[in-house]
């Protein structure tokens, strides 16, 4: 069997090291960006969210205060009850 003399070499090590470093830097940047977005939403999105929640609150309040009406008796119903 022939002896193996080659390998990935120093260039492959450097390329792998650079890729790992890039992934670490990108993940830190993404983490910072996501943290900023969660804690400080843009003003127009905050206004839209406030309006939407207010509209949902008004609709829920209207449904909660709405009193169901009693069914009205129609002349047909009264006529069917008589013997």
Spans of all domains in the chain = 29-57
Per-residue confidence (pLDDT) for residue 76, from 0 to 100: 63
Mean pLDDT of 53-70: 63
pLDDT of 66 over the 90 cut: no
Per-residue confidence (pLDDT) for residue 55, from 0 to 100: 72
Q: pLDDT tens, 6-26? A: 788 899 999 999 999 999 999
Question: Whole-model pTM?
Answer: 0.43
Q: How far apart are CA 80 and CA 83, in angstroms?
A: 8
Q: Please, what's the b/e burial string for 8-28 (b: 16 or more CB within 10 A of its CB; e: otherwise)?
A: eeeeeeeeeeeeeeeeeeeee
């Amino acid at each position: 069997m022939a002896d193996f003399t080659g390998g990935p070499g120093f260039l492959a090590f450097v390329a792998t090291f650079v890729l790992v470093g890039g992934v670490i830097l990108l993940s830190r940047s993404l983490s910072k960006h996501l943290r900023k977005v969660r804690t400080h939403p843009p003003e127009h999105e905050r206004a839209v969210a406030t309006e939407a929640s207010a509209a949902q609150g008004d609709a829920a309040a209207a449904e909660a205060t709405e009193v169901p009406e009693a069914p009205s008796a129609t002349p047909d119903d009264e006529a069917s009850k008589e013997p």
